[in-house]
Structure 1
Amino acid sequence: MSTSNDPGYLGYQPTLQPLKLTTGASFVQTIQPSDGAVFPAGTQVSIVLTAPGGTSIGAWSANVSSTTATWTVPAATCDEIPTNSRYTMLVTYPTSPATTYAWYAGTVIRT
Structure 2
Amino acid sequence: MSTASNPGYLGYQPTLQPLKLTTGASFVQTIQPSGGAVFPAGTAIVIVLTAPGGAPLGSWNATVDANSARWTVPAATCDDIPANARYTMLVTYPTSPATTYAWYAGSVIRT
TM (norm. structure 1) is 0.96
Tell me the amino acid that sits aligned with residue 107 of structure 1. S
Q: Provide the C-alpha distance between the structure 2 equivalents of 1:2 and 1:46, rounded to a whole number of angstroms.
A: 32
Number of matched pairs:
111
1:65-94, CA deviations, whole angstroms, 9 ceiling, x for partnerless residues? Answer: 001000000000000000000000000000
**RMSD of aligned residue pairs (Cα, Å):** 1.2
Instruction: Please name the residue that 1:60 is paired with.
Output: 60
User: What is the SS of the residue equivalent to 2:49?
Assistant: strand
* Counterpart mapping for 1:22-101 below 5 A: 22-101=22-101
Q: Provide the C-alpha distance between the structure 2 equivalents of 1:91 and 1:34, rounded to a whole number of angstroms.
A: 15
Superposition deviation, residue 2 in structure 1: 6.7
Percentage identity across paired residues of the two chains: 80
User: What is the SS of the residue equivalent to 1:53?
Assistant: coil
- List gaps (5 residues or longer) in structure 1: none
1:42-76, CA deviations, whole angstroms, 9 ceiling, x for partnerless residues? Answer: 00000000001100011000000001000000000
Superposition deviation, residue 5 in structure 1: 1.9
Q: Provide the C-alpha distance between the structure 1 equivalents of 2:105 and 2:46, rounded to a whole number of angstroms.
A: 12
Q: Provide the C-alpha distance between the structure 1 equivalents of 2:18 and 2:3, rounded to a whole number of angstroms.
A: 31
User: What is the SS of the residue equivalent to 1:12?
Assistant: coil
TM (norm. structure 2) is 0.96
